[in-house]
Amino acid sequence: MNTIHVRFKLAYPGFSLDVDLDIPGIGVTVLFGHSGSGKTTLLRCVAGLQPVAEGELVVNGEVWQDATTTLPTHRRPIGYVFQEASLFAHLDIRRNLEYGLRRVPEARRRVGLKQAIDLLGIGHLLDRMPDRLSGGERQRVGIARALAVSPEILLMDEPLAALDLARKQEILPYLERLHDDLEIPVLYVSHSPDEVARLADHLVVMEQGRVVASGGLTETLARLDLPIRLGEDAGVVLDGEVVEIDANWHLARVRVGSGQADSHPGGPVSLWVRDSGHPVGHRARVRILARDVSLALDRHDDSSILNTLSATVVEVADDTHPALSLVRLDVGGAPLVARLTRRSVCGLDLLPGKLIWVQIKAVALIG
């Protein structure tokens, strides 16, 4: 039963939390929303740090809280990573990591200390004191310490928020390694578009203590009834694989979708992106913003746009401005979202089921 059932009701003056949802018991679930939307409060409820009289929490079939049972925080097999690592200043890094192991019976250890050290790349830091580490190094140690207690769920509350851009870029690849190498479910609080795009398998969008959307990352981002902006614009994130390197032009071709359509029907769906040094076979994600997708009735090869694909119109919806519309498209099983003027939608006669040509002006390779 790889499912986490979460139901909590909590009321404060001026704020209330009312959440009832099921999320996967594997992979990374990102709690996404503006400050004050209830993300951290929900995480604290899961950890048992926030008392809740009316709540239910079942983690992969194990009841942590219901009408008759409430496990205290120290009995919940969790790892918790805060915005600040909060290492013990009087202990070196090795002893910081070993501190939590005492409460974990050896038979229940799912993550070895060496494995945690290797995953976070901190082996060379073990004999240092915390005050001799950079912010990114301290946070990597904090994550390794949370993993070393072999949690059944890893809770991460904006772990990169206190870091500058350079340190964030330093630590994100390590978080991706956790995503790829561990089977521990992660509940990750963030309002960073880059972190969502790179790490999330499942996305929970919160506003004013309520869940307004929950589902797989790609499908949730492609919803037109609730266009979710990852920073500057709505768009989608697609999983793919590098299948070709064009060394002459410093480009890479990434295959996405289910491979049922392309500029040549029946061929694989692929996109040209800037070569980031990844080898053929590397799993990667691409982010495509709605503003970078244009549509045409006929194929055009006489433009600067490299990515031209056949697609089917799935849905057309109003955008936030009366002059604009959002169009959801199916490209070989992969959803795309385009932002057009309503005049263009009318001129192209875009209706569900219509075949169309998609031109993608910019594709960002992530990770």
Residue 287 or residue 365, greater confidence? 287
What distance in Å separates the CA atoms of residue 359 and residue 300, rounded to the nearest whole number? 9
State what percent of residues in the chain have pLDDT above 70.
Answer: 95
Rg, the chain, Cα only: 23
Identical fold, 3-221 and 235-366: no
Q: Of the candidates 37, 46, 47, 35, which has an alpha carbon nearest to the alpha carbon of residue 17?
A: 37
Tens of pLDDT along 184-225? 999 999 988 889 999 999 999 999 999 999 999 999 999 998
Residue boundaries of the structural domains of the chain: 3-221, 235-366
Give the pair of three-digit tokens for residue 33. Answer: 């929303």
Identify the pLDDT of residue 107: 67
Task: Read off the pLDDT band of 258 (50, 70, 90).
Answer: low
Q: Kindly report the pTM of this predicted structure.
A: 0.89
Tens of pLDDT along 106-135? 767 777 888 889 989 999 999 999 999 999
pLDDT beyond 60 at 38: yes
Could you please state the CATH topology (level 3) that the domain comprising 235-366 is classified under. OB fold (Dihydrolipoamide Acetyltransferase, E2P) (2.40.50)
Average pLDDT over residues 213-239: 88
What distance in Å separates the CA atoms of residue 98 and residue 117, rounded to the nearest whole number? 11
Could you please state the CATH topology (level 3) that the domain comprising 3-221 is classified under. Rossmann fold (3.40.50)
Average pLDDT of every residue of the chain: 89
pLDDT beyond 90 at 263: no
> How far are the Cα atoms of 40, 72, 82, 83, 139 from residue 162, in angstroms, in the given order?
15, 29, 10, 6, 10
Identify the pLDDT of residue 232: 65
pLDDT beyond 50 at 158: yes
The amino acid occupying position 26 is I
Backbone dihedral region for residue 117 (phi beyond 0: left; psi -120 to 50: alpha; all else: beta): alpha
Give the pair of three-digit tokens for residue 305. Answer: 């746009």
What distance in Å separates the CA atoms of residue 140 and residue 344, rounded to the nearest whole number? 49
Task: Read off the pLDDT band of 104 (50, 70, 90).
Answer: confident
Backbone dihedral region for residue 345 (phi beyond 0: left; psi -120 to 50: alpha; all else: beta): alpha
Task: Read off the pLDDT band of 338 (50, 70, 90).
Answer: very high
Largest Cα span, the chain: 70
